[in-house]
């Protein structure tokens, strides 16, 4: 696994939050990649991408409140995209970062769009991973069906098998070693020696409210990315981002490109061969020094 240092910062409401900081080349002054994970994910979700990058760019992988080593919120109603975006703004201030290239998976992509509206000119480029301004109802229903429900296993292999049974249609070609790697990104070993989910189960509370997924007009937030280079990655089996929505997204921005990732659903790992050339182009297009 690539070397990293742990970064901790404080939210406006007093939560201690966590990120991983993977260094890039010493002489590189380009904007770092700011990696924002999905609803139930954490910093480990970006290990495949970091490995594929091979140290070519600094990477800050964020753990939203209620995940991993970040603090759990006293008020579960703060588990919403706007609060996550405000927490990220605090991180950028803490790290004195003027410009970043945002990489957002699912929920992280929604936060990316919000940041584009909140921080004009500071998003140098973006990769949205299987998410857009419109989310498919069937995918939302599937997520509501599992988020926040306890999941406990006696061994890592049991956890891997459980993931395989629940998600075989998302990654139909995966081997057991890939499911095991996914389990170790999603779960943790607790003090009793059991394998448990690595997030606060209360993150589901606002998401399960009627209309809980609603928020700002994300098409306007998407438009706020303007003319920066953008990649939209869509798993060809996705039930979250439709092909029609993805194509509308591309048509709305002058420097956006769509990459269909074959054989996977929601969401690609970001190290798929079909996607790596687009990531290389995004790196090249955002290689100018940060202001």
| pLDDT at residue 139 tops 80 | yes
49-71 burial, b at 16+ Cβ within 10 Å, e below that, comes to: bbebbeebbbbbbbbbbbbbbbb
Q: What is the pLDDT of residue 291?
A: 47
pLDDT at 210: 60
Note the Cα 133 to chain centre separation in Å. Answer: 15
Q: What average pLDDT is seen over the chain?
A: 94
Q: Give the DSSP per-residue string, 27-87.
A: T--SPPEEEE--TT--GGGGHHHHHHHTTSS-EEEEE-TTBTTSPPPSSGGG-SHHHHHHH
Instruction: Please report the pLDDT score of residue 290 as a whole number.
Output: 47
Among 25, 23, 27, 41, which residue's Cα sits nearest to residue 95?
23
Sign of the Cα torsion 246, 251, 253, 257 reads: positive
pLDDT value of position 219: 95
Q: Does 192 score more than 80 pLDDT?
A: yes
- C-beta of residue 18 within 8 angstroms of C-beta of residue 24: no
Mind listing the pLDDT tens digit for each residue in 49-106?
999 999 999 999 999 999 999 999 999 999 999 999 999 999 999 999 999 999 999 9
The yes-or-no verdict on residue 275 having pLDDT over 50 is yes
- Looking at per-residue pLDDT, the higher value among 288 and 144 belongs to 144
Q: Helices 156-167 & 176-186, crossing angle to 10 degrees?
A: 100
Q: What is the pLDDT of residue 289?
A: 62
CB 58, CB 33: distance < 8 Å: yes
Nearest to 208 by CA among 272, 146, 144: 144
In the chain, % of residues over pLDDT 70 = 96
pLDDT band for position 215 (50/70/90)? low
| 16-22 vs 5-10, strand pairing mode | antiparallel
Which two tokens mark 51? Answer: 């490995």
pLDDT tens-digit profile of 118-129? 999 999 999 999
Residue 213 has pLDDT above 70, yes or no: no
Closest Cα to residue 266, out of 154, 143, 157? 143
pLDDT value at position 214?
46
Whether 160 has a pLDDT exceeding 60, the answer reads yes
2/13 Cα distance (integer angstroms): 32
| DSSP E strand boundaries for the chain | 5-10, 16-22, 33-36, 59-63, 100-105, 123-129, 152-153, 187-189, 195-197, 230-235, 256-261
In angstroms, how far is CA 199 from the centroid of its own chain?
14
Q: Which two tokens stand for residue 50?
A: 């970091």
Which residues, including other chains, have CB under 8 Å from residue 18's CB and lie 6 or more apart? Answer: 6, 7, 8, 43, 63, 68, 69, 70
pLDDT digits (tens, 9 = 90+) for 226-273: 999 999 999 999 999 999 999 999 999 999 999 999 999 999 999 999
pLDDT at 21 over 70: yes
In the chain, the domains with their CATH numbers are: 5-146+202-285 (3.40.50.1820)
Going by C-alpha positions, the residue among 109, 236, 107 that lies closest to residue 169 is 236
pLDDT reported for residue 156: 98
Find the mean pLDDT for residues 202-207: 91
């Amino acid at each position: 696994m690539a070397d990293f240092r742990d970064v901790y910062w404080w939210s406006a409401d007093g939560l201690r939050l966590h990120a991983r900081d993977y260094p890039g080349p010493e002489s590189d002054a380009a904007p770092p990649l700011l990696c924002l994970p999905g609803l139930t994910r954490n910093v480990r979700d970006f290990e495949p991408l970091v490995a594929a990058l091979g140290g070519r760019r600094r990477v800050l992988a964020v753990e939203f409140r209620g995940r991993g080593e970040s603090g759990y919120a006293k008020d579960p109603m703060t588990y919403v995209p706007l609060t996550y975006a405000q927490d990220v703004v605090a991180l950028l201030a803490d790290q004195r970062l003027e410009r970043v290239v945002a990489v957002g998976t699912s929920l992280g992509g929604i936060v990316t769009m919000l940041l584009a509206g909140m921080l004009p000119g500071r998003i140098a480029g973006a990769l949205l991973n299987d998410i857009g301004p419109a989310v498919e109802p069937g995918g939302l229903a599937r997520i509501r069906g599992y988020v926040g429900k306890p999941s406990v296993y006696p061994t890592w292999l049991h956890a891997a098998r459980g993931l395989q049974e629940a998600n075989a249609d998302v990654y139909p070609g995966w081997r057991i070693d890939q499911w095991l790697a996914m389990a170790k990104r999603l779960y943790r070993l607790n003090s009793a020696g059991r394998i448990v989910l690595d997030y606060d189960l209360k993150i589901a509370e606002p998401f399960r409210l009627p209309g809980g997924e609603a928020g700002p007009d994300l098409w306007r937030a998407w438009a706020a990315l303007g003319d920066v280079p953008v990649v939209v990655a869509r798993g060809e089996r996705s039930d979250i981002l439709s092909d029609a929505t993805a194509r509308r997204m591309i048509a709305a921005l002058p420097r956006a490109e769509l990459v269909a990732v074959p054989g996977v659903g929601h969401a690609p790992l970001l190290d798929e061969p079909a996607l790596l050339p687009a990531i290389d182009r995004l790196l090249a297009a955002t290689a100018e020094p940060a202001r």
